[in-house]
């Protein structure tokens, strides 16, 4: 386990050492790629408004920071700036003027009106890469709409499709901010590509990242829509066994073909295809329940090449064999000295270090240091 800094001893260098990232974003979609860049070694400065980040209300509150805020902003430096204030806005412009990357997810047009739009920043800093995240894109007819993850889950078709797959159950949102996370990942990829391109052009660029576009581009079912085909669900089947739930990857037709061949399962009934599917699922379920114990069942599934999973409770995931061997988190020290667990990025490089570089900073904790390091002002100012 890494120490409080999250940086292993004998650090061999990180992929983004020396890169300056100005994080003007809030919530998840923007802070997430900035957090990735921090783990990759960049010097990330989070600009937080006086009222705080909207993410700083979700989860356990420790040392004046919430669980969600801690995960999204670990390892970043923090400066408080009110962009409605002339002096603070001027500081933000100066910071953007020396940044390699600027990330923002304000409503379309807001930063441009404040003098922090791409054209203004690039005029004095032509190498800057600005990632602008919005719900529907910078120039779409819906560019001005407010958007959070549930809005994109609904408008992308994800929620209604899920409802149809679950037997037309009432539509409800999913317990995962997929739109934010997918947008953040696509944003990180786009920025890294722009950084690579800058090596040959010496110029940065403006990246317009739509949350709706990101979730649709990540949707492995979208081909049905593009091909005007009815959607066919490709999901695992869950079977309730003795005290646990088992998921088998594949539909009834596939599972039946494997188990009838390997175990001689027989279905002599007739009826419609739907009736046959339901009956064969129950035959499979009965066979699963007939196994003497879980170990024997798992050994058999492995032997015949079926892919399985235990349906686990979220609170049990950290106890999985994989994570017990390689924990997906590290511990950092909060200001009061107490440890806080922060999730690590899942990248394992052979020749570079990727690590959590500290806790989520307090509001304005690094104001003097940032002004000194980035703008050359005396740290006492």
Which one of 53, 180, 208, 334 is the catalytic residue?
A: 180
Assess whether 373 carries a catalytic annotation: no
Instruction: Please name the residues in contact with 49: beta carbons below 8 A apart, sequence gap of 6 or more.
Output: 26, 80, 81, 82, 83
Q: Which residues are catalytic?
A: 180
């Amino acid at each position: 386990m890494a120490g409080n800094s999250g940086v292993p001893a004998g650090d061999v260098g990180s992929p983004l050492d020396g890169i300056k990232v100005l994080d003007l974003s809030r919530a998840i979609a923007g802070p997430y790629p900035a957090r990735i860049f921090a783990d990759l070694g960049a010097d990330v400065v989070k600009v937080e408004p006086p009222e705080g980040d909207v993410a700083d209300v979700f989860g356990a509150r420790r040392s004046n920071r919430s669980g969600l805020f801690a995960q999204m902003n670990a390892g970043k430096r923090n400066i408080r700036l009110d962009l409605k204030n002339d002096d603070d806005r001027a500081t933000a412009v100066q910071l953007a003027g020396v940044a390699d990357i600027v990330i923002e997810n304000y409503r379309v047009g807001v930063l441009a009106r404040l003098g922090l739009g791409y054209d203004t920043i690039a005029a004095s800093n032509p190498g800057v890469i600005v990632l602008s995240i919005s719900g529907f894109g910078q120039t779409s007819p819906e560019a001005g709409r407010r958007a959070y993850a549930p809005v994109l889950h609904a408008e992308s078709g994800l929620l209604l499709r899920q409802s149809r797959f679950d037997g037309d159950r009432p539509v409800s949102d999913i317990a995962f901010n997929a739109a934010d996370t997918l947008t953040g990942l696509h944003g990180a990829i786009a920025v890294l590509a722009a950084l690579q391109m800058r090596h040959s052009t010496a110029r940065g660029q403006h990246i317009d990242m739509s949350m709706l576009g990101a979730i649709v581009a990540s949707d492995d079912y979208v081909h049905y829509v593009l091909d005007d085909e009815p959607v066919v669900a490709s999901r695992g089947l869950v079977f309730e066994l003795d005290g646990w739930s088992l998921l088998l990857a594949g539909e009834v037709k596939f599972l039946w073909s494997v188990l009838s061949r390997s175990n001689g399962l027989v279905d002599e009934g007739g009826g419609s295809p739907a009736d046959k599917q339901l009956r064969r699922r129950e035959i499979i379920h009965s066979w699963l329940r007939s196994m003497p114990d879980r170990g024997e069942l798992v050994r058999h599934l492995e032997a015949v090449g079926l892919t399985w999973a235990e349906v686990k409770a979220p609170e049990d995931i950290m106890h999985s064999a994989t994570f017990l061997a390689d924990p997906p988190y590290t511990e950092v020290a909060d200001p009061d000295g107490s440890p806080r667990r922060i999730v690590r990025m899942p990248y394992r490089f052979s020749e570079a270090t990727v690590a959590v570089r500290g806790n989520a900073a307090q509001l304005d904790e690094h104001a003097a240091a940032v002004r000194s390091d980035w703008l050359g002002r005396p740290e006492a100012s």
